[in-house]
Amino acid sequence: MTHPAFQAAHPDFLTLFPDGAAPEQLGREHTWTEGPTYVPSRQRVIYSDVRQNHTWAYTDAGQLVEEQRPSGYQNGHCLDAQGRLIACSHGARALLRQEPDGSWTTLADQFEGQRLNSPNDVALHPDGSLWFTDPTYGLDKPEEGGRGEPMELPGRWVFRLTPDGQLSAPIRDRHKPNGLAFASASTLLLADTGDQAGTYRYDITPDGQATLAGLHFRVTPGKTDGLRLDHAGRIWSSAADGVHVLTPDGHELGRILFPETVSNVCFGGADGSTLFVTASTGFWRVPTTVTALTFR
């Protein structure tokens, strides 16, 4: 029998999960979880409790352990081309990289002499560049690291950091850029959690230029905060009622319903087929039959 959390809009949706699959809660009593990213070298998924200024790790051995406290109000994470953890820090107003000894290196904290707002989410492009969003949630919200500091940049942009350290701002037309994921080397999906909330598609050139190609999809209820793609290009998006799964062109296949607002997702685990889900107060996992889209 299919678990009631799985709500299919198309028969193909149920093929994405093994028999007996169900959401399982792994962490609880958080305040606002975000940024799940699986780190194969450490056999664990790391996620943030942004408002408690804390990061956690869930290991392949089934242990939920404290990762870092304080965490600098980290939000989104990804891995760089060498498999190192990259973090968006509201507290530092910076993009950071964790070194093998556990220390942190600042990769970017200003642009053209002005401090970044509060980096929110980050994604690795196939060329090794890191693209990250920079809305002002970490300035506007004291509970997310805001200290009453002013916004210095004239906008809330999406930045591109090349492997040799060159920083540019190729996307400047969004209100509150948030989660982002590459569908290919030439296509970026970018969630905007502003008044016209939706996920937009951008055409990306080899030299890092970006051109808006249109609205790709919207979720209802709520907004897309974080998103990931699986190996077939299907989109796994957060929403107010759970995780929405869409075709590569943005049509809904179905939903995994959760009892709280979902913020973000990632694939991981020993075989890469576990969907990890961050939500309002909890951290969850769901077994699937798919793995993440990769470009390596």
Give the pLDDT of residue 65.
97
Could you tell me which CATH number the domain at 72-218 has? 2.120.10.30
With H, G, I as helix, E, B as strand and everything else as coil, classify residue 41. helix
Asked if 110 and 123 touch (Cβ cutoff 8 Å), the reply is no
As a whole number of angstroms, the distance between CA 28 and CA 58 comes to 12
As a whole number of angstroms, the distance between CA 27 and CA 244 comes to 21
Q: Give me 218's structure tokens.
A: 């919207």
pLDDT tens for the chain, residues 1 to 296: 789 999 999 999 999 999 999 999 999 999 999 999 999 999 999 999 999 999 999 999 999 999 999 999 999 999 999 999 999 999 999 999 999 999 999 999 999 999 999 999 999 999 999 999 999 999 999 999 888 899 999 999 999 999 999 999 999 999 999 999 999 999 999 999 998 899 999 999 999 999 999 999 999 999 999 999 999 999 999 999 999 999 999 999 999 999 999 999 999 999 999 999 999 999 999 999 999 999 86
Domains 1-67+231-296 and 72-218 share a fold: yes
Global model pTM greater than 0.85: yes
Per-domain boundaries in the chain: 1-67+231-296, 72-218
Q: Give the closest residue to 10 by CA, choosing from 275, 251, 261.
A: 251
Strand 274-279 relative to strand 262-268, pairing: antiparallel
| Ramachandran area for residue 44 (φ above 0: left; ψ -120 to 50: alpha; else beta) | beta
CA angle 251, 76, 259 (to 5 degrees): 60
With H, G, I as helix, E, B as strand and everything else as coil, classify residue 51. helix
3-state helix, strand, coil in the chain (%, to 5): 5, 45, 45
CA angle 202, 296, 35 (to 5 degrees): 60
Q: Give me 131's structure tokens.
A: 């693209």
Q: Give the closest residue to 217 by CA, choosing from 246, 194, 176, 242.
A: 246
The architecture in CATH of the region 1-67+231-296 reads: 6 Propeller (2.120)
